[in-house]
């Protein structure tokens, strides 16, 4: 693993600094007196709980928000960025937490938006743009077609495009806000490779992640934020894992990897499994999926980026109409599935795309939580206020959602708390089968623990759970067994007890080698041997 | 898979960044300072203040405005617009729009004459039913065929008026003297027209439906995020279908009211440009065009505001040309004040 | 739109899905043109006079006024907005041209364009800076500009010294009406602007995702203001040409153009949700509307009420065909059905 | 010339201009082998327009033309130009045009002239060179109508009144001439004052609302002048609802059945006729022209004034429409 080899001796030059930055939104003090220094050739890790103010700080650095007080200096000179454009022109670029690209435009268009190569001074040189995009895409081993519509790519691929853009802009300061949250481990390796190279080129990097192992793998220095303020800074040596977590949470924690081991108490003896999927097909993305989940069992759906996990969930759930195959819930066939019918039959689904398929912006936390439950808390179409309030209150309590109250707008919550509200929505219908697509995406250590606790409790209470995660370790710790998905087809499974990530990758790699998909092979190759992949 | 749907669809409305909601419900959005608080109140209730100010202005300046008949006459004009504003509000809450309402009024008005030979009862019921039919068709286009409501409404706006005119050969047909038409057209309780009472009662029903029923909540959820609503198991299509059907039905009723008031079926002039008034009233009343929120009381007051505005121009004998400019300026300023300071 | 396959793409990757996606994209962008050809051929079969070159030329040249407006309207719709003020702006444009005509043809041409640009900028500022809804801002402008036109010209204004100005719209070069030349040039420039300039890329970006565009460094406000300015200027130009064509300033001219231009854009495959569109599509849409009017005239006996009914029905039919063919239907269910399949069918990774 | 079905409501010409137009070389073409085009300007929502079109259609049949083409510009000037061009493309050899506006038909006239197509303009005057652009104009004098309305109102009120004027749609010559003519007519009567003048866009519905609100602001109004019968209908409804129908004197323009009926019943004082039956005279003018006879450049109609002296007879004789 690459670490801060060249940087420990002399302190490198400071590039971008903030001094005493504060920012409030109404009564929320998102940032208080934050000072931060980004140095050339250094990866600076920014960690903190959900809602600690990381994304807000980044938006201040890139000119999206103006600080209420405090100042920015770039190369020792005081600067103000009045827009992301201004920051971009000064060489400060960001890959934002929520992917912010244009789905209807091509990959190349997205990479070169606002700095397109030109012809005759005014016209965009499309040919050169595509060529250069192809170059960049190849250099960073992104397996995407530069002419493809961005929206046709998976979230992970879009994240990589976002990164490619930052690089192509020739940024001197590159900010990555949870860039890995949508990536599979193979993709993460490619990303880290890129980051290492950029560091070597003397670029100042800011890295935000809730995956502490990644932070330790990559960062030269940490800043820990809590409640909008900087509480600690230091090198990885000065801040070992336990200290870091304590600083983040403001208390001791059981530790990031203290996943409770599963006891393996699945009701496999049951006559009918809680969920049985047989040879499910949908277009060319879900080609042949079969799986069985018993009550009290937690099954992980493992696969590389774009292997069809999301599509599998959506097809089971009836959000898209299956072309072939059967879904049985507790032995009874689920026909003509639609989300409403599936929910009525005891399914619940959490989308990975919180922003466009999860939250109802403009509505309150409470209204968000009860959205799926309305038929059950109403009589003759009239909603019972009392029941609604009770459900919301219990949900907020049970999941520990940090909100000013049930009537606060969902958009004022931090990402992690929004996610918890959505999990609460899934649970509100008292499902028997839970389909969770990357439920811990972008949520902090503490919240993750809580989500795990909740999921495991639910399983203990008799639910069947199918879950994906872009973090292999998490998946192994959380689940009883894995079902491996490759190119839209299930390829058997493996129990998780005692397994480690490399075992899973081996399974994936083996399968991938059989198929003709070169990219999958290459990705896995990259995981195991970055150096070798470089030559490929 | 489209990401960032929410910003993508901010288009109909002020493009507030999603992270900076300016909702009355958000405790964060109220300014902590005491000075800002009353300004926020003023902004959020601007339609009431504006109406009050305009009424006071008219009472002082405009001859004849204090005459109780002035209020009566205003309310007669406003009643049909209140009805179509109700439907419009529902459509807007789902992040849609219903441009067909004015023409549907005309079609309903023509239907009164068409059904008259079968009796007064059939004429009353028939006209509203025709409105409902157009609404159902619009709902079908929007919900099942997924045509953009702006376009389906536009096509119906043109076609429904054509049909109305074709039904009566383009001419206006006088209605016979019948107690039912007299009651609707001239009946009052105190100074308040019966049709206004009916419109207000329906407004109360719609407000209740929006607040307390699943259908109302569905409409708002569908408007707030179509994608999330679908995955949350909300019957998106049924909701959209119903919303436009309700809007059409209310427009049919509005057409009946207008005909009774005129004492005639008039396919040419009933409801002309009323859709625009209804939309403007909704927006002024606090229902943003970007959906996910609704304010029925605000819309009713928005309608009254625009009516009083029109009346103050006519009663002060301000030439139509200048009146139009002033009305435009008024709308822009009213909405600007609602936005700024946030 | 350029759909260049790069060297990176694997030609063997999911060819069937690819073809389907391309087909859909084709229908989206070229469907209106195909529809135009089909309708024209049918009309030609039924009404022998329809296909006369002089008739076709008249249809095109008479479509120029709406056509210019539709260019601006399309830009604004792709950007994610509307411009309801264009119809009134055309009327005001004719009036301004009539006032300016005594100062020469240059003034008569330029003054309406400049006025339209300034008014469009005003709309743009209210929409982009003050963040007001485009629908309401331009609706108010529709009322206000109509009032202004009436104040300036409560009667029809006959252009005092016709001369060269009135020959601009009524003359021809190489036997082709000047109006057709203008139409072709403006659409050509519009296509270049949209597809081959940064401004065009920014318009697509803002319409696709405004927030993202801002974060990616697009000067959202400036682009929006400019786009509305362009829309106003094109409406002004349309008004100037109309004044030249009709020899007069008519405050009522252009009434209804706002909705017709939106209809033309939508028939031409511009998505009302923004971010998607071409220039050729709206042009075909405008011509289609012109053809419909002409066909109704050819029928000759249709009463005007049925004309309304017919054009409403036609608009609907065109949009339904578009929707069904492109499989956009699933969009109502967002995240499910055909819409998702459409994205899945896009070129696979190689 | 009596080949056309005559009815008692047929137009009578009051004054012919002395100047005439004559065809350069009569080609001996007959109406019976010609395609004739009729360009109507506005929607037939108004009885005036409907009667006008019906009259042209009937006269075309009577003249035995090969085919009558018909277009309607829906009040859109640019569309009227396109309409006329499309009729020329369909082989129209003679045109009857009801101009939408007082200007703006130049390009259409130019095309007709280039093809040697004679054009008859009816009801509204429009700019153009007589004999080149069109051979004749048939119609009423709107300014004079306004003056006659003023006089009729003065006669009915004894020269003393507070008047509400309900105007037609703005931006239209008919409206402005009826406004100006009325104002000029009132000059002779110092005690007649216009208290309010508002547009109702030719609409019954709007007229009702406008009248209602004028009455509130000006309770002293005791006379009403409206530019068209369609709007008079709305004004009457408003007056009736306000209980003021008895005390208010109404003068209108057009001569529709409904309003002349009102005169007979005593609700309306007078109605200045605008006769829309242009068909027979228009075809006669074409016929004469083609035959090489001189056609007067202007043929102004002898509009009747309906009042209580002649209302019943006119109704019985079917003079009104
Ligand atoms: N536009 C806004 N309006 C109101 N509150 C806001 C806004 N933006 C952020 N906040 C609040 O500021 C705080 C900091 O949020 P921020 O998004 O910076 O957290 P974060 O550290 O990035 O969290 P996460 O790890 O969940 O992404 C949160 O309480 C959030 O609710
Ligand atoms: N190779 C690809 N070609 C086309 N679309 C793809 C491809 N990979 C991913 N996608 C799109 O990405 C979205 C999510 O992909 P999918 O469900 O296949 O992957 P996943 O295993 O859930 O990956 P992720 O970690 O991104 O969620 C889908 O909408 C899918 O259409
Ligand atoms: Mg964040
Ligand atoms: Mg996924």
**What was the ipTM of the complex prediction?**
0.79
pLDDT-based confidence at residue D186 (cuts at 50, 70, 90): very high
Output the CA–CA distances (angstroms, integers) from residue B143 to B91, B139, C299, in the order listed.
Answer: 12, 6, 35
pLDDT surpasses 90 at C47: no
Residues of A in contact with C275 (CB under 8 A): 102-105
Cβ distance of C212 and A100 shorter than 8 Å:
yes
Q: Which of A27, A46, A52 to mutate to test the pocket of ligand 1 (most atoms within 8 A of CB)?
A: A52
The percentage of chain B sitting over the pLDDT mark of 90, rounded to a whole number, equals: 41
Global confidence as pTM: 0.82
Are A44 and A146 in the same domain? yes
pLDDT at C193: 93
**Residue recorded with tokens 């042209």:** D56
Query: Mean pLDDT over all residues of chain D?
Result: 87
**Is A7 inside a domain boundary?**
no
Instruction: Tell me if chain D has a CB within 8 Å of the CB of B213.
Output: no
What is the model's pLDDT at position B236? 93
Residue B15 falls inside a structural domain: no
CA atoms within 13 A on the CB side of D308: 10
What is chain A's pLDDT, residue by residue, as a tens digit (536 residues)? 444 444 444 677 888 999 989 998 776 788 999 999 999 989 999 988 777 888 889 989 988 888 889 889 988 888 888 888 888 888 898 887 666 788 888 888 888 888 888 777 788 888 888 898 888 888 777 777 888 888 777 767 787 788 888 878 878 899 988 887 767 677 788 788 888 888 888 889 999 888 888 888 889 999 999 888 898 898 888 888 888 888 887 765 544 444 455 555 555 555 678 898 989 988 877 888 999 898 888 999 887 766 788 889 999 999 988 888 899 988 888 888 899 999 999 999 999 888 788 899 889 999 999 998 888 888 888 988 889 999 999 988 888 888 888 888 898 887 778 888 999 999 898 899 999 998 887 777 777 777 888 888 888 888 899 999 877 778 888 888 888 887 788 887 778 777 776 777 666 655 444 433 333 333 333 333 333 333 32
CB neighbours of residue C256 within 10 Å:
15
| pLDDT value, residue A263 | 53
pLDDT tens-digit series, residues B280-313: 899 888 888 888 888 899 999 999 999 898 888 8
Across A352-511, the runs of DSSP E, i.e. the strands, are 378-379, 382-383, 433-436, 464-467, 481-486, 489-495
Residue with CA nearest ligand 1 atom 24: A50
- Is residue A284, in this structure, part of any structural domain at all? yes
Q: Cα–Cα distance between C13 and B304 in angstroms, integer? A: 62
Cβ–Cβ gap C49/D105 under 8 Å:
no
3-state SS assignment for residue A102: coil
* B206 neighbors A372 (Cβ within 8 angstroms): no
Confidence of residue C271 (pLDDT cuts 50, 70, 90): confident
User: Any residues with Cβ below 6 Å from ligand 1, and which?
Assistant: A 25, 28, 30, 48, 50-56, 97, 412-416, 442, 444; B 19-20, 28
Q: What is the pLDDT of residue A265?
A: 55
**Contact yes or no for B120/B177 (Cβ under 8 A):** no
* Residue A189 sits in the same domain as residue A278: no
Contact C214 A284 (CB under 8 A): no
pLDDT of B30 > 50? The answer is no
Radius of gyration of chain C (CA): 21
- Residue A285 CB less than 6 A away from ligand 2: yes
- In chain B, the N- to C-terminal Cα span, in Å, equals 33
Candidate ranges C223-232, D228-237, D272-281; pick with highest mean pLDDT? C223-232
Between chain B and chain D, the number of residue pairs with CB atoms below 8 A apart is 84
Ligand 2, atom 15: closest residue by C-alpha = A306
> Which of 255-294 (C) contact A at CB < 8 A?
275-276
The CATH class, in words, for C58-318 is mainly alpha
Taking residues D223-240, report their average pLDDT.
Answer: 92
Q: Are B247 and B230 in contact (CB under 8 A)?
A: no
Q: What is the pLDDT of residues D12-71, one digit of tens each?
A: 777 777 788 888 777 777 888 899 999 998 877 777 888 899 899 999 998 888 889 998
Pocket flag, ligand 2, residue A410 (CB < 6 Å): no
Which among B251, B252, B246 has a CA at the least distance from the CA of B127?
B252
Residues of B in Cβ contact (< 8 Å) with A404: 27-28
Residue B319 maps to a domain: yes
pLDDT at A517: 35
Query: CA of C177 to nearest chain B CA: how many angstroms apart?
Result: 31
**CA-proximal residue: ligand 2, atom 2 (nearest):** C348
State how far residue D295 is from chain B, nearest Cα, in angstroms.
35
Q: Residue B16's Cα: distance from chain center in Å?
A: 24
User: Do A307 and A455 belong together in one domain?
Assistant: yes
Based on the number of CB atoms within 10 Å of its own CB, is A77 exposed (0-12), middle (13-18) or buried (19 or more)? exposed
Do residues A290 and A244 share a domain? no
- Banded model confidence at residue C350, pLDDT cuts 50, 70, 90: very low
Predicted pLDDT at B11: 35
Best residue of A59, A143, A147 to probe chain C, by most C CBs closer than 10 Å: A147
| Domain range list for chain C | 58-318
The whole domain housing A377 covers 356-430
Domain membership flag for residue B79: yes
Note whether A147 contacts C349, CB cutoff 8 Å. Answer: no
Protein residue with least CA distance to atom 22, ligand 1: A55
CA distance readout (Å), A215 to A61, A188, A254, A471, D109: 20, 12, 19, 14, 81
Nearest to B263 among D50, D199, D237 (CB): D237
Average pLDDT, chain B: 83
Going by C-alpha positions, the residue among D104, D112, D116 that lies closest to residue D79 is D104
The answer to whether A320 contacts C197, with C-beta atoms less than 8 Å apart, is: no
pLDDT tens figures, D204-221? 888 988 998 898 888 899
Residue in chain B nearest C82 by alpha carbon: B12
For ligand 2, is residue A187 a contact (CB within 6 Å)? no
CATH number of domain containing A114: 3.40.50.300
Same domain for A266 and A221, yes or no, is no
Instruction: Answer whether residue B4 is part of any domain.
Output: no
Shared domain for A312 and A362, answered yes or no, is no
Question: Residue A468 Cα, ligand 4 centroid: separation in angstroms?
Answer: 8
Query: For residue A58, which atom of ligand 1 is closest to its CA?
Result: 18
Q: Could you give the CA distance from residue A262 to residue A453 in angstroms, rounded to a whole number?
A: 11
Yes or no: say if D313 and D89 are a contact pair by the CB < 8 Å rule: no
- Please name the residue of chain C whose CA is at the shortest distance from the CA of residue B20: C211
What is the predicted pLDDT for the residue at A508?
Answer: 65
| pLDDT of amino acid B300 | 94
Write out the DSSP string of D120-176.
Answer: EEESS---S-BTTTBSEEEE--HHHHHHHHHHHHHHHHTT-EEEEEEE--SS-HHHH
The ligand with the least distance to the CA atom of A302 is 2
Nearest to A381 among B31, B214, B228 (CB): B214
Ligand 3 centroid to A415 CA: how many Å? 6
Looking at the predicted structure, is the pLDDT value of residue C72 above 60?
Answer: yes
Residue A310 and residue A218 in one domain: no
Count of the separate structural domains present in chain A: 3
Interface of D with C in 3-62 (CB under 8 A): 40, 43-44
pLDDT at residue B145 is higher than 50: yes
pLDDT for residue A180: 78
Give the pLDDT confidence score for residue A6 in this predicted structure: 43
Report chain C residues whose CB lies below 8 A from the CB of B150: 262, 272
Does A317 lie in the same domain as A199?
no
Q: Which residue has the higher pLDDT, A535 or C123?
A: C123
Residues 6+ apart with CB under 8 A from C110: C100, C240
Percent of chain D with pLDDT over 90: 37
Per DSSP, C6 falls in state P
- Closest C-alpha among B149, B154, B141 to residue B9: B149
How does strand A221-226 pair with strand A204-208? unpaired
Ligand nearest to the CA of C350: 2
Residue nearest to atom 27 of ligand 2 (CA): A310
Both A376 and A342 in one domain: the answer is no
Q: Do A339 and B220 touch (CB under 8 A)?
A: no
CB contacts, 8 Å: A322 with chain C: none
Q: Does C246 touch chain D (CB under 8 A)?
A: yes
If residue B203 lies in a helix (H) or strand (E), which one and from where to where? helix B194-212
pLDDT digits (tens, 9 = 90+) for B150-176: 888 988 988 898 899 888 877 778 888
The total of structural domains in chain B comes to 1
Would residue B16 count as lying in a domain? no
Number of the ligand closest to the Cα of A361: 1
For chain D, the residues whose C-beta falls within 8 A of a C-beta of chain B are 43-45, 47, 50, 170, 195-199, 201, 203-206, 208-210, 212-219, 230, 233-234, 237, 241-242
User: How big is chain D, counted in residues?
Assistant: 321
Does residue A351 lie within any of the structural domains? Answer: no
Chains B and A touch (3+ CB pairs under 8 A): yes
Closest-CA residue in chain B for D235?
Answer: B262
Q: Which of B170, B267, B320 sits opposite D198 (nearest CB)?
A: B320
> Residue B147's domain spans which residues?
46-57+65-340
B119/D contact by beta carbon, under 8 A: no
Question: Measured between CA atoms, how close is D102 to chain C, in angstroms?
Answer: 6
Query: What pLDDT score does A536 carry?
Result: 29
Range of lowest pLDDT (A495-499, C230-234, C248-252, D132-136): A495-499
Q: Would you say residue A52 lies in a domain?
A: yes
Residues of B in contact with A375 (CB under 8 A): 214
Atom of ligand 2 nearest to the CA of B1: 29
Q: Is any Cβ of chain C less than 8 angstroms from the Cβ of B231?
A: yes
B63 closest CB neighbour out of D197, D205, D217: D217
Domain end residue (candidates: A220, A249, A278):
A249
Instruction: Tell me if C4 and A127 make a contact (CB, 8 A cut-off).
Output: yes
* Residues A24 and A134 placed together within one structural domain of the fold: yes
Read off the pLDDT of each residue in D103-132 and give the average, rounded to a whole number.
89
């Amino acid at each position: 693993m690459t670490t801060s080899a060249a940087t420990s001796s002399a302190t490198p030059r400071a590039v971008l600094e903030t001094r005493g930055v504060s920012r409030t939104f109404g009564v929320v003090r998102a940032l208080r007196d934050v000072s931060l220094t980004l140095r050339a050739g250094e990866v600076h890790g920014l960690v903190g709980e959900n809602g600690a103010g990381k994304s807000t700080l980044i938006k201040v650095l890139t000119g999206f928000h103006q600080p209420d007080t405090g100042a920015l200096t770039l190369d020792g000179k005081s600067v103000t960025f009045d827009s992301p454009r201004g920051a971009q022109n000064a060489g400060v670029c960001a890959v934002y937490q929520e992917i912010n690209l244009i789905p209807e435009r091509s990959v190349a268009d997205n990479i070169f938006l606002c700095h397109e190569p030109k012809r005759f001074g005014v016209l965009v040189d499309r040919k050169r743009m595509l060529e250069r995009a192809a170059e960049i895409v190849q250099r960073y081993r992104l397996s995407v077609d530069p002419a493809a519509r961005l929206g046709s790519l998976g979230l992970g691929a879009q994240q990589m495009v976002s990164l490619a853009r930052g690089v192509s802009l020739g940024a001197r300061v590159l900010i990555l806000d949870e860039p890995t949250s949508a990536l599979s481990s193979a993709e993460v390796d490619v990303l880290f490779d890129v980051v290492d190279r950029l560091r070597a080129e003397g670029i100042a990097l800011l890295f935000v992640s809730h995956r502490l192992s990644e932070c330790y793998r990559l960062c030269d220095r940490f800043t820990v934020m809590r409640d909008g303020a900087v509480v600690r800074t230091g090198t990885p040596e000065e801040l070992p894992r336990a200290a870091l977590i304590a600083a983040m949470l403001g208390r001791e924690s059981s530790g990031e990897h203290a996943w409770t081991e599963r006891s393996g108490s699945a009701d496999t003896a049951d006559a009918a499994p809680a969920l049985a999927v047989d040879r499910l097909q949908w277009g060319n993305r879900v080609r042949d999926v079969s799986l069985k989940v018993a009550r009290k069992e937690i099954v992980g759906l493992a696969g590389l980026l774009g292997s069809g996990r999301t599509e599998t969930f959506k097809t089971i759930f009836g959000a898209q109409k299956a072309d072939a195959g059967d879904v049985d819930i507790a032995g009874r066939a689920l026909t003509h599935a639609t989300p409403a019918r599936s929910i009525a039959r005891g399914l619940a689904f959490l989308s990975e795309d919180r922003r466009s398929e999860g939250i109802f912006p403009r509505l309150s936390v409470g209204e968000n939580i009860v959205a799926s439950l309305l038929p059950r808390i109403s009589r003759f179409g009239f909603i019972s206020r009392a029941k609604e309030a009770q459900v919301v209150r219990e949900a907020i309590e049970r999941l520990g959602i940090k909100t000013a109250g049930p009537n606060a707008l969902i958009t004022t919550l931090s990402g992690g708390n929004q996610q918890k509200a959505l999990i609460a929505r899934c649970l509100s219908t008292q499902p028997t089968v839970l389909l969770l697509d990357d439920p811990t995406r972008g949520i902090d250590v503490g919240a993750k623990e809580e989500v795990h606790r909740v999921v495991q409790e639910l399983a203990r209470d008799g639910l069947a759970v199918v879950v994906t995660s872009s973090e292999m370790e998490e998946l192994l710790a959380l689940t009883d067994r894995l079902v491996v998905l490759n190119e839209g087809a299930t390829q058997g499974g493996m129990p998780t007890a005692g397994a480690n990530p490399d075992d899973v990758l081996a399974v994936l790699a083996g399968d991938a080698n059989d198929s003709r998909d070169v990219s999958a092979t290459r990705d896995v190759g990259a995981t195991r041997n970055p150096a070798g992949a470089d030559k490929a | 898979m489209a990401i960032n749907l929410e910003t993508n669809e901010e288009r109909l409305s002020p493009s507030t960044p999603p992270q900076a909601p300016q909702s009355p419900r958000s405790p964060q959005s109220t300014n902590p300072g005491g000075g800002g608080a009353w300004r926020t109140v003023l902004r959020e209730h601007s339609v009431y203040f504006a109406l009050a100010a305009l009424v006071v202005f008219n009472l002082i300046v405009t001859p004849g405005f204090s005459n109780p008949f002035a209020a009566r006459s205003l309310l007669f004009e406003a009643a049909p617009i209140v009805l179509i504003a109700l439907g419009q509000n529902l459509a807007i809450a789902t992040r849609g729009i219903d441009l067909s309402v004015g023409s549907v009024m005309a079609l309903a008005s023509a239907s009164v004459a068409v059904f008259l030979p079968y009796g007064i009862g059939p004429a009353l019921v028939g006209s509203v039913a025709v409105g409902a039919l157009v609404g159902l068709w619009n709902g079908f286009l929007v919900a099942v065929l997924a045509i953009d409501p702006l376009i389906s409404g536009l096509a119906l706006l043109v076609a429904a008026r054509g049909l109305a005119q074709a039904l009566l050969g383009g001419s206006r047909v006088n209605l016979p003297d019948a107690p039912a038409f007299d009651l609707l057209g001239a009946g009052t309780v105190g100074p308040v027209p019966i049709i206004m009472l009916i419109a207000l009662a329906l407004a109360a029903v719609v407000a209740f439906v929006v607040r307390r029923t699943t259908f109302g909540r569905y409409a708002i959820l569908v408007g707030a995020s179509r994608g999330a609503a679908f995955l949350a198991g909300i019957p998106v299509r049924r909701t959209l279908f119903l919303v436009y059907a309700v809007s059409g039905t209310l427009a049919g009723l509005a057409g009946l009211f207008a005909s009774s008031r005129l004492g005639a079926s008039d396919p040419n002039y009933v409801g002309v440009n009323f859709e625009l008034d209804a939309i403007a009233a909704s927006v002024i009343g606090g229902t943003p065009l970007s959906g996910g929120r609704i304010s029925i009381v605000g819309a009713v007051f928005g309608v009254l505001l625009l009516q009083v505005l029109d009346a103050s121009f006519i009663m002060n004998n301000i030439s139509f040309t200048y009146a139009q400019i002033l009305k435009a300026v008024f709308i822009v300023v009213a909405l600007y004040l609602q936005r700024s300071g946030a | 739109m350029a759909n260049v396959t790069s060297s990176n793409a694997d030609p063997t990757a999911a060819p069937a899905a690819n073809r389907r996606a391309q087909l859909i994209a084709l229908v989206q962008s070229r469907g209106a043109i195909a529809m135009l050809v089909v309708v024209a051929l049918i009309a030609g079969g039924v009404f022998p006079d329809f296909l006369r070159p002089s008739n076709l030329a008249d249809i095109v040249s008479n479509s120029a006024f709406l056509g210019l407006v539709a260019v601006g309207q399309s830009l604004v719709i792709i950007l994610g907005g509307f411009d309801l003020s264009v119809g009134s702006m055309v009327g005001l444009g004719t009036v301004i041209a009539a006032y300016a005509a005594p100062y020469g043809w240059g003034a008569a041409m330029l003054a309406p364009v400049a006025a339209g640009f300034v008014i469009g900028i005003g709309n743009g500022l209210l929409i982009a800076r003050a963040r007001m809804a485009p629908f309401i801002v331009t609706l108010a402008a529709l009322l206000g500009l109509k009032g202004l036109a009436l104040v300036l010209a409560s009667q029809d204004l006959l252009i005092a010294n016709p001369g060269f100005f009135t020959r601009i719209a009524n003359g021809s070069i190489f036997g082709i009406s000047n109006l057709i030349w203008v139409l072709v040039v403006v659409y050509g420039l519009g296509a270049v602007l949209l597809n081959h300039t940064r401004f065009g890329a920014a318009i697509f970006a803002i319409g696709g995702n405004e927030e993202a565009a801002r974060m990616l460094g697009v000067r959202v406000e400036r682009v929006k203001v400019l786009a509305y300015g362009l829309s106003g200027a094109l409406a002004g130009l349309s008004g100037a040409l109309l004044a030249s064509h009709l020899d007069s300033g008519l405050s009522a001219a252009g009434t209804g153009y706002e909705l017709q231009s939106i209809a033309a854009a939508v028939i031409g495959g511009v998505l009302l949700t923004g971010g998607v569109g071409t220039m050729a599509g709206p042009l075909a849409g405008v011509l289609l509307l012109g053809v419909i009017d002409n066909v109704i005239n050819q029928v000759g006996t249709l009463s005007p009420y049925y004309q309304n009914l017919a054009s409403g029905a036609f608009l609907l039919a065109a949009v339904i065909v578009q929707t069904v063919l492109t499989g956009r239907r699933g969009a109502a269910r967002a995240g499910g059905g055909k819409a998702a399949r459409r994205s899945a069918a896009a070129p696979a990774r190689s | 010339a009596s080949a056309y079905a005559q009815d008692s409501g047929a137009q009578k010409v009051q004054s012919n201009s002395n100047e005439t137009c004559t065809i350069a070389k009569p080609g001996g073409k007959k109406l019976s082998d010609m395609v004739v085009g009729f360009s109507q300007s506005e929607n037939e929502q108004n009885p005036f327009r409907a009667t006008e079109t019906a009259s042209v259609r009937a006269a075309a049949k009577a003249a035995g033309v090969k085919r009558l083409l018909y277009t309607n510009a829906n009040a859109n000037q640019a569309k009227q130009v396109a309409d006329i061009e499309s009729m020329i493309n369909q082989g129209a050899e003679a045109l009857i045009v009801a101009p939408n506006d007082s200007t703006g038909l130049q390009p259409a006239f130019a095309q007709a002239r280039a093809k040697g197509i004679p054009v008859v303009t009816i009801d509204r005057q429009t700019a153009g060179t007589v004999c080149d652009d069109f051979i004749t104009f048939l119609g009423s004098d709107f300014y004079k109508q306004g003056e006659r309305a003023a006089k009729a109102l003065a006669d009915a009120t004894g020269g003393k009144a507070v008047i509400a004027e309900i105007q037609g749609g703005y931006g239209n010559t008919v409206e402005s001439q009826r406004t100006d003519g009325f104002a000029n007519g009132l000059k002779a009567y110092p005690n007649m004052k216009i208290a309010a003048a508002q547009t109702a866009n030719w609409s019954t519905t709007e007229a009702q609302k406008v009248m209602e609100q004028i009455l509130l602001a000006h309770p002293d109004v005791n006379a009403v002048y409206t530019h068209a019968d369609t709007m008079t209908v709305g004004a009457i409804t408003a007056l009736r609802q306000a209980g003021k129908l008895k005390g208010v004197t109404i003068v209108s323009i057009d001569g529709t059945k409904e309003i002349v009926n009102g005169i007979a019943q005593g609700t309306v004082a007078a109605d200045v006729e605008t006769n829309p039956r242009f068909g027979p005279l228009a075809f006669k003018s074409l016929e004469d022209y083609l035959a090489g006879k001189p056609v007067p450049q202007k043929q102004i109609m002898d509009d009747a004034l309906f009042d209580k002296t002649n209302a019943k007879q006119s109704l019985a004789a079917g003079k009104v429409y």
